[in-house]
Structure 1
Amino acid sequence: MTLESLRLPEPRSLRAQVEQTLSAAIISGELAPGELLTVPTLAARFDVSATPVREAMLELEHRGFVEPVRNKGFRVTEVSDEALRQLVAVRQLLEPPAMEQLARVLPELPADRLEPLRAFAEQIVAGASRGDLPAYLAADVEFHLGLTALLGNDLLVDLVRDLRSRTRLVGLVAMLESDRLGESAAEHLVLLDLLAAGDAAGARDLMHRHIAHTLGWWAGNPETAEALAR
């Protein structure tokens, strides 16, 4: 991965565009731990002023993705196995039960509430098939936050958003050379089917396995039945 291959997404605030682009590259492992990033280089690469780049880097520092290097810039941080395990543990406490609850209350919601989310699930699958990790990750965030929002609990949405924003998936790049990215992408469509069928236990269990990929495939590690069951 080189800076020359990075591209900004469609118009948002410049800071948000820079942050989204760099965040996706760091989350997926395209920008590897230890890589040095400088504000002038990034500003020139993206053809923007230094201000939105500096603001984006400070936000990435707050998320723990980069650390300042005196008189040099920012270095992409190493991925702490323990920190990742703690993030996954908290997500497992929140997201699978949320999907279980959603499967139970979904019949009370308008029948078309899942349709916009199916479009995001299809974008995730398409991103995986093209090897477009930024598109994959952007659609993944919209999908999961959109599902969580159906429960009507804004605090839960904020917590899930924060936890996902700090989760690193450095094995995604390696998954491009296998079928695993496509397999994990397809789980989003399966989850929608389970929710639509009112299968609360199935939705909970699938979400549990899906998050477990964070310590397995998405971290570049093999997966075992025992690990997925934790």
Structure 2
Amino acid sequence: MTASELASRLELGGTPTMRAMTLLESEGFTRPVKRKGWQIAPITKESAKAVFGAYRIVAPGILDLLLQNATEPELDEYVKRTYAWSRGYGEFQADFSVHPISYALKICGNEFVATMAAGVVAHLERMMVFSFRQGSFAEGPAAFARDAVTEAIAVRDKVRAHLALEDLIRHSELEVFKGLSRPLGSRLARIAPAM
């Protein structure tokens, strides 16, 4: 057995970067471009609509599993991550490294559901971060719906949590669409750090 055969059998062939880009491509985050390498897949209104449509299907089940299976410390951590992630631009900066929706998948108690929903959730979080960086969600209906969801989850109120989740998804989709409708120059100006 040659070294290349062994590397192939162990799935070690290629550079780590190439493997990472191939994995990102399989998840829909990148696409290969001839003679130029890789390109990050753009966020479009059509892709946002598709992601929110898919999330509307899986979110109620994830919420049920979260309320049923997560421990109190896990729910507390979820609430902390949600607020750390979604702070607007003001006195505090949002922490985009906490990924609360991915964390909800991790603690939902059903590995199959978590695996199946991971791609949708990753795309959703990517779009949300895009909007957060533009100052969306800091206040208004989406922020109120987010607060209602986290409060209902904290007390394990299934009915209230589901109603608030529907509102949160609807308002979040509107915020993302609003961000995508802005002219590119104004989006870049809001994303760029202040000097």
TM-score range, shorter chain: 0.5 to 0.7
Residue of structure 1 in register with 2:157 after alignment: 199
TM-score scaled to structure 1, two decimals? Answer: 0.55
> Which of the numbers 88, 95, 105 marks the counterpart of 2:52?
88
Larger radius of gyration: 2
The residue type equivalent to 2:82 in the other structure is: A
Shift of 1:185: 5.9
Quote the RMSD (CA, aligned, Å): 3.3
Residue-by-residue CA offset, 1:73-109 (whole Å, 9 max, x unaligned): 2223343544432332221111124324644x37xx6
Residue of structure 2 in register with 1:17 after alignment: none
User: 3-state DSSP class of the match of 2:173?
Assistant: coil
Asked whether the 8 Å contact 1:172–1:218 carries over to 2, the reply is yes
Percent identical among aligned pairs is: 17
> Which of the numbers 26, 36, 40 marks the counterpart of 1:76?
40
> Which of the numbers 122, 138, 146 marks the counterpart of 1:182?
138
The residue type equivalent to 1:67 in the other structure is: R
TM-score scaled to structure 2, two decimals? Answer: 0.63
The residue type equivalent to 1:158 in the other structure is: T
Residue-by-residue CA offset, 1:175-207 (whole Å, 9 max, x unaligned): 32xxx3323467555423212333222211222
The residue type equivalent to 2:35 in the other structure is: N
Residue-by-residue CA offset, 1:8-50 (whole Å, 9 max, x unaligned): xxxxxxxxxxxxxxxxxxxxxxxxxxxxxxxxxxxxxxxxxx9
Task: Between 116-125 and 184-193, report the one with greater CA deviation.
Answer: 184-193
Residue of structure 2 in register with 1:21 after alignment: none
Mapped pair 1:162 → 2:119: yes
Residue of structure 2 in register with 1:55 after alignment: 19
Q: 2: CA distance between counterparts of 1:54 and 1:127? A: 35
Q: 1: CA distance between counterparts of 2:121 and 2:160? A: 22
Asked whether the 8 Å contact 1:88–1:211 carries over to 2, the reply is yes
Mapped pair 1:122 → 2:122: no
Shift of 1:113: 3.6
Matched positions, count? 162
Residues 1:111 and 1:204: Cα distance change in structure 2 (over 3 Å): same
> Which of the numbers 71, 76, 99 marks the counterpart of 2:63?
99
